[in-house]
Structure 1
């Protein structure tokens, strides 16, 4: 009912929205930091920047990709395994049992999984695309934050609204109080006068203004 819905909204305003908004702000800050790492380690289209896997530096793109494929085969289990570094990010590998695929996971403030295929060069390209995608990630996170802020504002408006029946009850109570006040005045006037004659009593309904009419 209305009251329960109002309680739920109040609970969201006190707990859920502040937590989600803070979480999104923290995510945006982390993405911005990681984007600075990406900007500081650009990938030259002509010259491969190099990849470190298990202490070995691979300056050739194809060789790095092939070593990454070999690391996929060497995985002892599905747990995350640290491989090395790439473009300023920690490079890990894991098997995602839910998606049934091997993934390279770039890590800094946040983690960025990248599906690994069978093409050595193609996997390096996928890693580069993930690292070069921070502008879109930040934009999406900022949009999500704005959406949360709008939801919070809408909830505040709803909580502040009076229940329609409560408003109607308040209006009727005010009218009833007005009626009682008029009746009291009318009764006081009647009690202060002498008893009217019979002819005057019969004329009273026609000549005295109706209290109900006054309220109409």
Structure 2
């Protein structure tokens, strides 16, 4: 019936409209704290029930400019407190990373570098020889010099050991080998054991399995370089975190000044004291108890 509807909002000066819009603004800030990807992410503080005191009603009725200043300061101080809480949260997270996370990562990469370096050295000392580019493989105490024989025996050993617990079966290119059945992926796997272990999934092709083993050993130099790079990056992150944690809260002075001004306004406007309800209890103003009258009655 009505294709277009125009909505007008009227605000009357020196009325409760300012207070009502302040309530709506508080709700919007609460919702915005959750519906955002910025810090703080999906978190919101408790919102206490807001109610006007008698003094605040008086200030609204008289149009005192100090009350308007107080309302503005309330919003600004609240925003600054949210920013400070976010700063403190990030500050504590950085301290935790500096003390625990980064040192642990650096130590882990140092262990990886030592392991990969040792295994690269072993692989370089036992390079494949001959036309087939194959090193003799020892399985169950027997050394096989031909690829086909070694691949076939490896498949036979897998079928004989359908257990999830790794079992040592021999050696190849200076590395010990373990075989086990991966129940999650439902396939046989082989561990190449040096200072560290490298998992290889085995298939039904005898020669293909040997190729997979060679490919995994060939990845060792790249693993070593990647560990060195990640260690350097983690050290750089640690140094950056140490510099960041030294930085103070950027709005500390502003928060302090506005909080002090807000407290001063509350004192001026008598908003720091709770309204005292006046109750007529029937007692005299001087606080004296009325005398009890005793009447002597004859029986």
Q: Aligned match of 1:95 in 181, 205, 217?
A: 181
Choose which of 130, 149, 159 in structure 1 pairs with 2:245. 159
* CA deviation vs aligned residue, 1:11-51 (integer Å, no higher than 9, x gap): 11011111110110111111000100000000125153211
* Structure 2 runs not aligned, ≥5 long: 1-85, 259-299
Distance in 1 (CA, whole Å) between partners of 2:220 and 2:246 is 39
- Give 2:7's aligned residue: none
CA contact (8 A) 1:43 1:128 kept: no
Aligned-partner Cα distance in 2 for 1:124–1:71: 14
Q: In the alignment, what sits opposite 2:120?
A: 35
Which residue is 1:141 aligned to? 227
TM-superposed deviation, 1:146: 2.2
Is 1:20 paired with 2:105?
yes
CA distance in 2, matches of 1:39, 1:57: 20
Instruction: Map 1:1-216 onto structure 2 (within 5 A).
Output: 1-47=86-132, 48-168=134-254
Given the two structures, how large is their TM-score scaled by the length of structure 1?
0.74
Answer with 4-13 or 109-118: which moved more. 4-13
Q: Distance in 2 between matches of 1:15 and 1:141?
A: 19
Checking the alignment, whether the CA contact within 8 Å between 2:116 and 2:221 is kept in structure 1 is: no
* Superposition misfits of 4+ residues, deviation over 4 angstroms: none
Which position in structure 1 is the counterpart of 2:284? Answer: none
Following the alignment from structure 1 to structure 2, what is the Cα–Cα distance between the partners of residues 108 and 167? 59
Contact persistence 2:162–2:180 (CA under 8 A): no
Does the 8 Å contact 2:141/2:170 carry over to 1?
yes
Q: State the alpha-carbon separation in 1 of the partners of residues 208 and 243 from structure 2.
A: 51
Assess if the C-alpha contact under 8 Å between 2:187 and 2:202 holds in 1.
yes
CA distance in 1, matches of 2:225, 2:142: 36
Q: Structure 1 pair 3/77, CA: closer, same or farther in 2 (3 Å)? A: same
Superposition TM-score, scaled by structure 2 size? 0.55
- Larger-gyration structure (1/2): 2
CA distance in 1, matches of 2:255, 2:213: 65
Partner-residue secondary structure (3-state), 1:164: coil
The number of residues matched between the two structures is 173
1:62-109 residue CA offsets vs partner (Å, 9 max, x unmatched): 100000111111114111011010010001111222332211110010
Q: Which has a greater percent of helix?
A: 1
Q: Secondary structure at the match of 1:114?
A: strand
Q: 1:194 maps to which residue?
A: none
